[in-house]
Chains A and B, each alone.
Chain A
Amino acid sequence: MNFRKALANGLLAENPTFRLVLGMCPTLAVTTSMMNGIGMGLAATFVLVGSNAIVSLVRSFIPHKIRIPCYIVIIATFVTVVDLVMAGFTPALHETLGIFIPLIVVNCIILARAESFASKNSLLSSIGDGLGMGIGFTCALTMLGSIRELLGTGVVLAAPDFNFAGLRVIPEAFKALVVIMAPGGFIVLGLLLGFINWLTRKASAHSS
């Protein structure tokens, strides 16, 4: 699979959130606002690209039996670098995402792509896959975050790090707080998944 195919694959056909259904824990926890979703998505993308690249480079040197601990050390290194850099250069976002930055280490998407793709493909394709998966993940988080933010707080585009309180679309009295909490997250995610499944089925019915 070449770079471009891998990139497109991660975005649509094998979108990690909506098709592979991986990394659900940070997805549900962080998508309380659009900006949170974008921030997390970008951090995870950086780690994905980096770890995919390194794993692909050293794939012939890593013995099969100890591949998992090796991948995890590599991933953890990248995540720690992201954590340190964010703490130094984007302290506000770092504070907002807080504990979920270190948790990127155990994000299933990253380990899954290292194991199933990067360890078996060339450097360029692996980078493409990392990029595609990362952007696909970011898009999914952004979508989910926007919907939950709109229904759960009534505000859109709130960006506290840029001192922007967002635009109120739904009056305060009509906001559904449950959408921002865990049950609401599951419900919105489920509905979105169903909707996307329906869309893809229609699309494949058209093309066949």
Chain B
Amino acid sequence: MREIVRYGTVLGLICAISALVLSATYNLTRARVEEAQAQAFQEALAQVLLGEHEFIPVENLVDKLGGRFNSVKEAYIAAGPQFNGLAVRVSQRGYAGQIEAVVGILPSGEISGVRIIQQSETPGLGGEIVRERFLGQFVGASDIDSLQVKQDGGSIDAVTGATISSRVVVAEVRDALQVFRLLRDQGLFDELSASPGGSERYSVFAEVLPGQYEFEAIENLSERLTESVKSVKEAFVAVGHGPVGLVVKAGVDGYAGPIEVVVGIAAPTGEISGVRVVSQSETPGFGTEVAEAEFLDQFVGLSNAESVRVKQDGGVIDAVTRATVSSRAVATAVRDALLAFESLRDQGLLAVSE
């Protein structure tokens, strides 16, 4: 009997001291741990939606989702002066524990980035889902049906030897995309747009004319344009830090419908700095290729309007194979933009200002 009392006391004493040490350590490190976790989360938010935004949490997310998509825990709207995107925190059971990720989605519905913030998969196998090699595959994706691992008929390369972990991440990204669409259809993002399609407009402008600019629309454009460049719809003078330039919105009829392009032209040189296709409804796989960088990059650096034609018409642009009509349409729009630039410049509307 005395033995048992002694055993109990000794063990109890050791446990009590242990509990003391542990609670002290916990209290000492808790602030740091929470700070590290919060920082990792903020970093993930900034990484998936490139840039500094204010992140506004979506309230009553569960109600808005109608009880679906249980893996989606939180969603944050990235807001500047306009809607810049949605960041979604997803969590689902992986192979060895919860896999928690943050998915960033641009206003266009494309994924801007994925970061894993918490996982306990097997190091060297499932643990590899955090690598850029795997997560980079999601960037730019917007089609939910192709968001599957290759084994399931999709386009995502799973991590070798970690199909289960990979599948879970893909499912989480899919859920995030579904949530984005659901919230968008509920009109949640409209209140934050400065004007319909406003954010898209400004981000595209920055892509075709890199620099810090204020864009001022040119009034009475059709009267000013002495050349007949009927595809040019709007033109904006870019003023601010960096060389002055012009951004032109042009619209032409493509093969299957209207094609709208935005062209950036740098002022002193008169060279095209960038072209983006903002909207089109051409044949997928053929005409749609005119929106790809491979085709559009050909325009960069050109300043002679005559050369801005497809090769079939005597210019330097390689048309997209079997999409000559679409390619020609885009080349026409870009050429008109260049001619409009020259016309406006000659009228002195693009005087350099600081």
What is the interface of chain A, defined by CB distance below 8 A to chain B? Answer: 29-30, 32-33, 36, 58, 61-63, 65-66, 69-70, 73-74, 76-77, 80-81, 84-85, 87-89, 91, 95-100, 160, 177, 180-181
B11 at the interface (CB under 8 A from A): yes
Q: For the complex, what is the distance from the CA of A137 to the CA of B271, rounded to whole Å?
A: 64
* Partner among B14, B21, B96, B127 whose Cβ is within 8 Å of the Cβ of A96: B127
Cβ-defined contact, B123 with A96, below 8 A: yes
Given A29-B122, A96-B127, A99-B97, verify A74-B18 contact (CB < 8 Å): yes
Given A84-B25, A88-B32, A98-B119, verify A180-B124 contact (CB < 8 Å): yes
The dominant DSSP class at the B interface is: helix
Cβ-defined contact, B123 with A98, below 8 A: yes
Task: Give 4 nearest A-B pairs by CB, closest first.
Answer: A32-B124, A88-B32, A88-B29, A98-B120
Q: For the complex, what is the distance from the CA of A29 to the CA of B120, rounded to whole Å?
A: 13
The interface residues of chain B lying within 8 Å CB-to-CB of A66 are 7, 10-11
Cβ-defined contact, B29 with A84, below 8 A: yes
Cβ-defined contact, A87 with B36, below 8 A: yes
Cβ-defined contact, A81 with B22, below 8 A: yes
The interface residues of chain A lying within 8 Å CB-to-CB of B18 are 73-74, 76-77
Q: For the complex, what is the distance from the CA of A63 to the CA of B2, rounded to whole Å?
A: 12
Interface string of B140-175 (1 = CB under 8 A from A): 000000000000000000001100000000000000
The interface residues of chain B lying within 8 Å CB-to-CB of A74 are 14, 18
Q: Give, as a whole number of angstroms, the nearest-CB distance from B35 to chain A.
A: 8
The interface residues of chain B lying within 8 Å CB-to-CB of A30 are 123
What is the interface of chain B, defined by CB distance below 8 A to chain A? Answer: 3, 6-7, 10-11, 14-15, 18, 21-22, 25-26, 29-30, 32-33, 35-37, 40, 96-97, 118-125, 127, 130-131, 160-161
The interface residues of chain A lying within 8 Å CB-to-CB of B10 are 61-63, 66, 70
The dominant DSSP class at the A interface is: helix
Cβ-defined contact, B96 with A84, below 8 A: no
Which single residue of chain B is at the shortest CB-CB distance from A102? B120
The interface residues of chain B lying within 8 Å CB-to-CB of A181 are 125, 161
The interface residues of chain A lying within 8 Å CB-to-CB of B3 are 63, 65
Q: For the complex, what is the distance from the CA of A61 to the CA of B10, rounded to whole Å?
A: 8
Q: Give, as a whole number of angstroms, the nearest-CB distance from B127 to chain A.
A: 7
* Partner among A29, A77, A80, A89 whose Cβ is within 8 Å of the Cβ of B123: A29
* Partner among A69, A80, A89 whose Cβ is within 8 Å of the Cβ of B11: A69
* Partner among A63, A73, A95 whose Cβ is within 8 Å of the Cβ of B6: A63
Q: For the complex, what is the distance from the CA of A181 to the CA of B128, rounded to whole Å?
A: 13
Cβ-defined contact, B124 with A177, below 8 A: no
Cβ-defined contact, A100 with B11, below 8 A: no
Given A85-B25, A91-B40, A180-B124, verify A73-B96 contact (CB < 8 Å): no
